[in-house]
Amino acid sequence: MEFRKNDIVTLDIEDCGIDGEGIGKADGFTVFVKDAVIGDTVRAKIMKAKKNYGYGRLMEILKPSPYRVEPRCPYARQCGGCQIQALSYEQQLAFKEAKVRGHLERIGGFTEIPMEPIIGMEEPYHYRNKAQFPVGRNKEGRIITGFYAGRTHNIIENRDCALGVSQNKEVLDRVIAYMEKYGVEPYEEATGKGLVRHILIRYGFFTGEVMVCVIANGARLPHSEKLVEALQEIPGMTSITLNVNRSRSNVILGEELKLLWGQTYITDKIGEVSYQISPLSFYQVNPLQTGKLYAKALEYANLHGEETVWDLYCGIGTISLFLAQQAKFVRGVEIVPAAIEDARRNAELNGLQNVEFFVGKAEEVLPREYEKHGVYADVIVVDPPRKGCDEVLLETILKMQPKRVVYVSCDSATLARDLKYLCGKGYELEKVCPVDQFGNTVHVETVALLTKKAR
């Protein structure tokens, strides 16, 4: 039977796609259905039909899955932030484990995978220490803030995200009350007019410090002292800044930062290491789980105090400083100059002197230091962006022949591709451990350990 757009089908959802969508079959025709979970029987309307598969919209749940739970957030279906809030947390973990395993098998070609059980969260809600809220007006003309609906720039109004901290609502209520009182206009993407674009909030889980950064289409906020007065009343308020972004693009932060009150950073900890975080710093959004992730990376690095370690894509030095506690010397590489400034400051803050940081592309700095200066590594740690490691970098790792490579990944598909490359040229996959950093979403972090094959 051939299926077309707008056909209604009944499906038993038997699998889950990498974006959390339910997968069912109708007469051998595969249908991907967002918001359906494994074990559901559903009616779905086909929105897009290809030859052997299609995409459907969930119309009705005929029989709910035993794994289905009531989402805590009333906007879970509309919002683009949480994809799998309707799935029990145990099943979320099983899905993430299967996703990593599936990528390693299909893309990496690994058959026997030495996988440790996924490290889950004690509380998969209210774990995010950072949130960026776009500001706009609704159809009635009221100033609103919230999150973008999936794949759009339509704001779903919500000041109290189930993944964020309770302080977010307090901050947003006060910023919007100030905007209403003093006639401060929200930015309009379509026209480029208006002032307030986003409100960025960071919270220190271990210090209780709060940061508010108003991102504006201009260099000053009218009556900013009134906003400062209102925000100062929130316990823990430490940093209030204005970020100037006049670009007509969807990039959230501009380059220029102005201090309105307090200081330009807050401090927080991962494990025993303290970090100073500015509005522009990249910092892990879930510090509790990041502590577990880095502890696993440290365990895999197996340091005894004599090793030279390279930490590639080091950001503000988060992993480097963790490793420096147990290594002889750590060298970190990062392309963003401001991040390296933060990394050096963080090393100082923690009294760690056995670290050195380089600004540049890892795939350029590592070959240069190796070929020109003969800089060696016992252990190389990589934590690349989603696109994975550059092939030149993988080649240099192979030339340097470290005893161990610890690969921290936020995308198990590119992890599998890179591991296949390294394991085809003298390394073997010793251990893999998924870590859930992002409960109720489809994202999962993974740590893998590669060791040099005995010749």
Positions marked catalytic = 410
Find, among 27, 26, 44, the residue nearest to 35 by Cα.
Answer: 44
Residue pair 107/18 in contact (Cβ under 8 Å)? The answer is no
For residue 57, the one-letter residue type is R
CB–CB of 327/353 below 8 Å? no
DSSP states of 67-126: TB---SSTTTTTBSS-S-TTB-HHHHHHHHHHHHHHHHHHTT--SS--BPPPB--S--SS
Asked if 217 contacts 194 with a C-beta cutoff of 8 angstroms, the reply is yes
The C-alpha R_g of the chain, in whole angstroms, comes to 24
Residue identified by tokens 């919209």 is 57
Phi, psi of 446 (to 5 degrees): -140, 140
Tokens in use for 336? 């963003």
**Cα torsion angle, 276, 279, 282, 284, sign:** positive
Sign of the CA dihedral with 92 first, then 98, 101, and 105 last: negative
CA 175 to chain centre: 26
Which of 443, 447, 421 is closest to 99 using CA atoms?
443
Residue carrying the six token digits 């009343």? 233
Going by their DSSP bridges, the two strands 237-244 and 256-262 should be labelled as: antiparallel
Residue type for position 397: I
Stated length of the chain = 455
Question: Which are the contacts of 56, defined by CB distance < 8 A and separation ≥ 6?
Answer: 9, 11, 31, 32, 33, 44, 45, 46, 47
- Three-state secondary structure call for residue 47: strand
Decide if 23 contacts 32 (C-beta within 8 A): yes
